[in-house]
Amino acid sequence: MPSLTRPIRGRIIAGVCAGIANRFNISPFLVRLLFVLSLLLPGPQILIYLAMWIIVPNERA
């Protein structure tokens, strides 16, 4: 299983959703859709996304 990294290609904003999709071998569209739907619920989703943007490293070229 590949490690969690933010890909250079296939990013929309920061590559967090694309990195999660690559890690678990699922569609990036599905992860993005689930993230957007989760924004309708109360919780710290935005803060978790921002933290992952900072913590998860970029993919090496």
Indicate the domain borders of the chain.
16-55
Structure tokens belonging to residue 33? 């859709």
DSSP β-bridge partners for residue 6? 58
pLDDT at 60: 87
* pLDDT of residue 61 exceeding 80: no
The pTM assigned to this predicted structure is 0.88
pLDDT at 2: 79
∠20-37-54 over CA atoms, to 5°?
Answer: 40
Per-residue pLDDT tens for 14-57? 999 999 999 999 999 999 999 999 999 999 999 999 999 999 99
In angstroms, how far is CA 39 from the centroid of its own chain?
A: 14
Asked if residue 14 lies in contact with residue 50, where contact means CB atoms within 8 angstroms, the answer is no
